[in-house]
Chain A
Amino acid sequence: MTTILNDEPHKSLRYLVTQGGAGFAFDSAFSDLRNGLALWPLWLRLGWNDILQRYRRSMLGPFWLTASMAIMVISLGVLYAELFNTPIRDFLPYLCVGLLVWNLMSSFLTEGGALFTGAESYIKQIRLPYSVYVFRSSWSKLIIFAHNFVIYFGILLYFEIWPGAVALLAIPGLLLVLLNGAAATLFIGMVSARFRDVPQLINSVVQIVFFVTPIMWKPELLRSRTFIADFNPFYHLLEIVRAPLLGSLPSAKSYIAVLLITLVNVVIVGAFFARFRSRISYWV
């Protein structure tokens, strides 16, 4: 299905052409992204509402997220520091940052399934760029991450650690994680709209990935079997945010891996989106 369109929002005269036919419609995929970005006031509001809705009329509001995450980090941290026989001062910050970033990454995967099916009422009633739903969900995940991030500062203060200026490297790292997450969520959202068992499949895979990825344990424990971490894309995505926040420079290997992952991810998802974008409203 190819489509040529020019439906910029806020333009006084909108000219829209939709056209049938098989093939990759890169033009319309790009204009979907462009028009979606231009609608930022809409998705900022929708994403924020998604969070508010969950915690409406509760006293802590979205800080319930922070509270439950903090309880998890502290209880797991204390337990596993004991189990692994590592000093808690060393382990708890590691586990905290790992869980925060993992939480962000896994939510892109597990919540991607409902990206379009959950927005069916919108998709069937009004033409909006599909990327609006991607931005909306990415934005609300970033808000959740920001709420959880308070715990990191709490831990820095408690243990009196200071990561130094290298921590700023976490920002480009986070942006790369977000970019990959947004692409993955778009892909999962489309596939799940078509095949309804995909979300279940992803949920079970994500659980396994959690245990395989060095979050609750340190990669040093692998000794000679480092390939378990090296061939895990989630490990490298995690590393480029976690290492700077803990005061060390991520390895060049991790950066190269993440750049490769991003390239592959964006190309594949981009092609998929260009090919099947116009089918989304038929699938939901």
Chain B
Amino acid sequence: MATSAINHKSELSLENVSISFPIYHGGSRSLKKSLLFRGSGGQLASDASHRIVVQALRNVSLEFQTGDRVALIGTNGAGKTTLLRAMAGIYEPVTGVVKSLGRISPMFDISLGIDGDMSGYDNIRLRGLILGLSANEIEDRMTDIVEFTELGDYLDIPVRTYSSGMMTRLTFAVATCFAPEIVLMDEWIVAGDAAFLAKAQQRIEAFVKKAGILVLASHSSDICRQWCNKAVWMERGEVKLHGDIESVLDSYNNAREIAA
């Protein structure tokens, strides 16, 4: 992976995006309740099937350009993960518009789709397909991946025999094998044993540097400072503050000190 210039032409914008999750608790989720509700002309609705809605995002408007490295900060439940998923197109907004230009790599669960009974090679191919690479693109990157994992002949045997460190090498190598325009991360990915760590660090640095836009949700101010130049402070589904990394982090940390 040679470090090349940043992918130009990438864009990510949200306009007045709101997302809410209806809570389908045991009762209201059943067909019975729904049918009763219809049958009774909605009268039962007020008491029996009152839908509780969790407002995960409220009128979020943000705009990012190529070169933006954005830290998403906020307490648990502030809407960081929902925001990332909305950016990735996983949750389509209830109201508002999300636009993105460029290939998105959501690095939420890099071990998604790993099948313990398949060989390392087959898992690499499957992971690649899930990430939206074509079969040829995967084969092109195979040598790079194999070299990076240092797993050698182990790649021919089922991955359920791997140690967790070996598994991390595999998933990590595949996740970082291509150069997406937009990288979305829920917590910084730290990979493997000490010996591998330095190498992994180097690779992820190159990976992130090539991306046009990085959005990273993290609880660690150090990691945010290291990688980001902008920050968005989320609170209860709203953008509380948005701007330069230092200023946002300062006010965020101050607010937390006062609260504590």
Q: Identify the A interface with B (CB < 8 A).
A: 1, 3, 5, 7, 9-10, 13-21, 39, 41-42, 45-46, 49, 52-53, 56-57, 121-128, 194-198, 201, 278, 281-283
Q: Tell me if B235 is interfacial: C-beta within 8 Å of chain A.
A: no
B29 touches A125 (CB 8 A): no
Chain B residues with CB under 8 A of A42: 129-130
Say yes or no: A20-B91 contact (C-beta < 8 A), given A13-B102, A42-B129, A197-B30: no
Chain A residues with CB under 8 A of B18: 20
Contact of B112 among A1, A7, A125 (CB under 8 A): A125
Q: Tell me if B187 is interfacial: C-beta within 8 Å of chain A.
A: no
A126 touches B129 (CB 8 A): no
How far apart are A87's CB and chain B's nearest CB, in angstroms? 46
Q: Tell me if B134 is interfacial: C-beta within 8 Å of chain A.
A: yes
Contacting residues of chain B (69-111) with chain A, CB-CB under 8 angstroms: 85-86, 88-104, 106, 108-109
Interface size on B, residues (CB 8 A): 47
Q: How far is the CA of A52 from the CA of B118 in the complex (A)?
A: 10
Contact of A18 among B22, B97, B108, B118 (CB under 8 A): B97
A53 touches B117 (CB 8 A): yes
14 more CB-based (< 8 A) A-B contacts, given A9-B134, A18-B98, A194-B24:
A1-B92, A9-B132, A14-B100, A14-B102, A16-B98, A16-B99, A39-B129, A42-B129, A45-B125, A125-B90, A126-B90, A197-B31, A281-B92, A282-B91
Say yes or no: A18-B102 contact (C-beta < 8 A), given A9-B132, A197-B31: no
Say yes or no: A17-B90 contact (C-beta < 8 A), given A10-B134, A125-B112: no
Q: How far is the CA of A16 from the CA of B30 in the complex (A)?
A: 34
Q: Which of A7, A14, A124, A196 has the largest count of B CB atoms less than 10 A from its CB?
A: A14
Chain A residues with CB under 8 A of B88: 126-127
B115 touches A124 (CB 8 A): no
Q: How far is the CA of A19 from the CA of B93 in the complex (A)?
A: 6
Contact of B100 among A15, A123, A124 (CB under 8 A): A15
A3 touches B92 (CB 8 A): yes
Say yes or no: A195-B30 contact (C-beta < 8 A), given A16-B99, A128-B130: yes
Q: A7 — nearest CB in chain B belongs to which residue? A: B89
Q: How far is the CA of A197 from the CA of B9 in the complex (A)?
A: 47
A121 touches B117 (CB 8 A): no
Contact of A195 among B29, B90, B103, B134 (CB under 8 A): B29
B92 touches A13 (CB 8 A): no
Q: Which of A5, A13, A52 has the largest count of B CB atoms less than 10 A from its CB?
A: A13
B109 touches A121 (CB 8 A): yes
B117 touches A14 (CB 8 A): no
11 A-B residue pairs with Cβ-Cβ distance under 8 Å, sorted by A, are A3-B92, A16-B104, A17-B97, A39-B129, A45-B129, A46-B126, A49-B118, A122-B130, A126-B88, A197-B30, A281-B91
A196 touches B30 (CB 8 A): yes
Q: Which of A3, A16, A18, A45 has the largest count of B CB atoms less than 10 A from its CB?
A: A18
Q: How far is the CA of A7 from the CA of B100 in the complex (A)?
A: 10
A122 touches B113 (CB 8 A): yes
Contact of A125 among B32, B106, B132 (CB under 8 A): B106
B108 touches A127 (CB 8 A): no
* 9 shortest interchain CB distances as A-B pairs: A20-B95, A278-B92, A127-B89, A18-B92, A42-B129, A20-B93, A195-B31, A19-B97, A125-B109
A20 touches B96 (CB 8 A): yes
Q: Which of A20, A52, A198 has the largest count of B CB atoms less than 10 A from its CB?
A: A20
Chain A residues with CB under 8 A of B92: 1, 3, 18-20, 278, 281
Q: A12 — nearest CB in chain B belongs to which residue? A: B103
Q: How far is the CA of A197 from the CA of B117 in the complex (A)?
A: 32
Q: Tell me if B196 is interfacial: C-beta within 8 Å of chain A.
A: no
Contact of B115 among A53, A197, A201 (CB under 8 A): A53
B93 touches A18 (CB 8 A): yes
Q: Tell me if B154 is interfacial: C-beta within 8 Å of chain A.
A: no
Chain A residues with CB under 8 A of B119: none
Chain B residues with CB under 8 A of A5: 89
Chain B residues with CB under 8 A of A3: 92
How far apart are B81's CB and chain A's nearest CB, in angstroms? 10
Say yes or no: A49-B90 contact (C-beta < 8 A), given A19-B96, A194-B29, A196-B30: no
Chain B residues with CB under 8 A of A16: 89, 98-101, 104
Q: How far is the CA of A18 from the CA of B88 in the complex (A)?
A: 10
B34 touches A127 (CB 8 A): no
A126 touches B30 (CB 8 A): no
How far apart are A161's CB and chain B's nearest CB, in angstroms? 40
How far apart are B224's CB and chain A's nearest CB, in angstroms? 23
Chain B residues with CB under 8 A of A1: 92, 94
